[in-house]
Amino acid sequence: MRDAICALMKEGQSLGDLLSTLNGFAVGEDTIQATVDVRARPYLSHTVAGWTDGPSCSNVVLVVSGKSPSQNCWRRFTVTHTGTWRCEIDAFPTPFNNPEAPLAPGIPPGASRSASAN
């Protein structure tokens, strides 16, 4: 499934288009079922600015940098393996000021502030 997802990634496509392309994509006799996490829904108009492999010790297939259509900012998205031929697009809503920052390893800026505010 990872190879199929990587083959479908294109810079400049919206996350919504990626979701549509992934969902129902046939790989041999199997079909990918893709969904979107509720936190990612407001950001489906972001466009893919780059991607990298997810951590090998996790269920994250790819980490994606998505550019906002109305601002000069980028957000971190993940394509996560959620089951047999199932994946989900997730988002971390904190904006970054460059396209490389969302792809950097580690916890995004502001994560601890958000957690402590709750």
Q: Do the domain assignments include residue 44? A: yes
Quote the pLDDT of residue 55.
Answer: 86
Rounded to the nearest angstrom, the gap between the alpha carbon of residue 87 and the centroid of all alpha carbons in its chain is: 10
Q: What is the pLDDT of residues 16-57, one digit of tens each?
A: 999 999 999 999 899 999 999 999 999 999 999 999 998 888
Q: Do the domain assignments include residue 85? A: yes
Q: Do the domain assignments include residue 115? A: no
Distance between CA atoms of residues 33 and 24, nearest Å: 6
Q: Do the domain assignments include residue 100? A: yes
Q: Which domain holds residue 67?
A: 2-105
Do the bridges between strand 30-31 and strand 26-27 make them parallel or antiparallel, or are there none, so unpaired? antiparallel
Query: Which segments of the chain does DSSP mark as H helices, in order?
Result: 2-8, 15-22, 111-117
- The yes-or-no verdict on residue 104 having pLDDT over 80 is yes
Q: Which two tokens stand for residue 118?
A: 């709750």
Q: Which residue would you say has higher pLDDT here, 77 or 113?
A: 77
Q: Are 1 and 75 in contact (CB under 8 A)?
A: no
Q: Do the domain assignments include residue 112? A: no
Number of domains in the chain: 1
Q: Do the domain assignments include residue 111? A: no
Q: What predicted TM-score, i.e. pTM, was given to this entire model?
A: 0.86
Q: What angle do CA 79, 106, 13 make, to 5 degrees?
A: 35
Q: Are 83 and 61 in contact (CB under 8 A)?
A: no
Q: Do the domain assignments include residue 116? A: no
Quote the pLDDT of residue 107.
Answer: 57
Q: Do the domain assignments include residue 12? A: yes
